[in-house]
Each structure stands twice: as C-alpha cells, then as structure tokens.
Amino acid sequence: MSDELPLLPSLANLHMRHFGVTDAIAKNYAEGAAVCMQRHHVSPKTISIVTEAEVTRDYIAVWEAPTERQHAAWANRDDATRDGAYGMVIAAAEAHFGYFVVGRARTGSGSDYLFSTHPHDQTDEQVGFQEVQLYRLEVSGIDRCMSEAHLDARVQVKLQQLRAGRSASPGLAGVVAFSFARVKFVRL
C-alpha cells in the first residue's frame, strides 16, 4: 500500500460536504461500511474505483474496527450492505468525480440520490438548487462478490433501474463490492 495514494473521504463526515446527508445518516453509513469492510479486510485498505472506460484509480479507505456491539447491531447483512454501500459510493463519487449529494431522489426516479458538482458550503446557501445541474445516483452493494461478471451484472441492473426512472436527469450507477474492495461506476 503506497503512502502516495489519496484517502477516500471520511464517511462519518459526509454531512460536512454533502448537503443531502445529515450527521446522523453519515455516522450510520460509516458504521455500516466499517462492518462490511471488516468482514473481508483490515484498515487501512486500498480500494479501487473503476469507471465504465475501465479506468481504475486506487484510494486508501480507513475505518475504525467495529466493536462487538456494532457487529451485533449490524447483524442483518442486507441492511449493513445497503447502508454501507450508500456511504462508500457517495464517498467514492466525491473522491473520483467531485460529486456532492444534495438530497434523496424522489420515488420513481430510478435513483437513490441527487448530486451536483457543488459542495455543501456552496449548495446550501450560496447557490440555489434551481441554478445547479442535478444528476441521479443509483447505489448498490455486494457483500461477497463472486466475480467481475457478478459485479458487472449488478451494475447493469442498476443502469436498467435508472433508465426506467421517471426523470430526464443524467444518471450514474455505482456499485461497491465489499469483498473485492472495489467500486464500479457507469454513466447512463
């Protein structure tokens, strides 16, 4: 692991940069992601972010080892994977593309979140949402990814969900494979 690799942004502090994420939600996502990552890895861990052009960039993910109590609280693997994926994909989109969440997407949009290229301090007071181009972000997570084909298949499911959504906004599918320590993004 190289000291020269950039750090993945702190999941516990997402609320400081993302208008659409509160302090409580950021901490929830960080805890879920830590439990999922700890199932397969120890901190710090190199995590790869891959785009549809197969361009890969590595980052260092750091988390605190979950306590016995946290493991018990996150014993539902599906919930931990879902919530951990939200945090990991949001942090990866910030690190890799400079995208910032402005809020949850409406039901039927085919996505989980809306994002822009404006960080929290610019979006919430200085720039009105009407003046900001919004994009859709659809998130998914796989705890135990079996292969690259498994990861690619999940990305295709998420792209289909974006296509079926009632929204004309551009979209981005992001899927984290916790066991592979990889996040894959594909644009719609």
Interval 77-89: pLDDT, tens: 999 999 999 999 9
Lowest model confidence (mean pLDDT) among 14-23, 121-130, 163-172: 121-130
What is d(CA 40, CA 128) in angstroms, rounded to the nearest whole number?
Answer: 42
Q: What is the pLDDT of residue 123?
A: 42
Please, which pLDDT band fits residue 119 given cuts at 50, 70 and 90? confident
Q: What does the pLDDT read at residue 188? A: 92
Per-domain boundaries in the chain: 11-187
Other residues' Cβ atoms within 10 Å of the Cβ of residue 111: 25
Cα–Cα dist 27/63, whole Å: 12
pLDDT bucket at 122, cuts 50 / 70 / 90 = very low
Reading across the β-sheet that carries 100-104, which strands appear in turn?
56-61, 45-50, 182-187, 171-177, 135-142, 113-116, 100-104
pLDDT at 185: 97
Q: Is the pLDDT of residue 47 over 70?
A: yes
The pLDDT of residue 133: 80
- pLDDT number for residue 127: 46
- Are 166 and 105 within 8 A, CB to CB? no
Whole-structure pTM value? 0.92
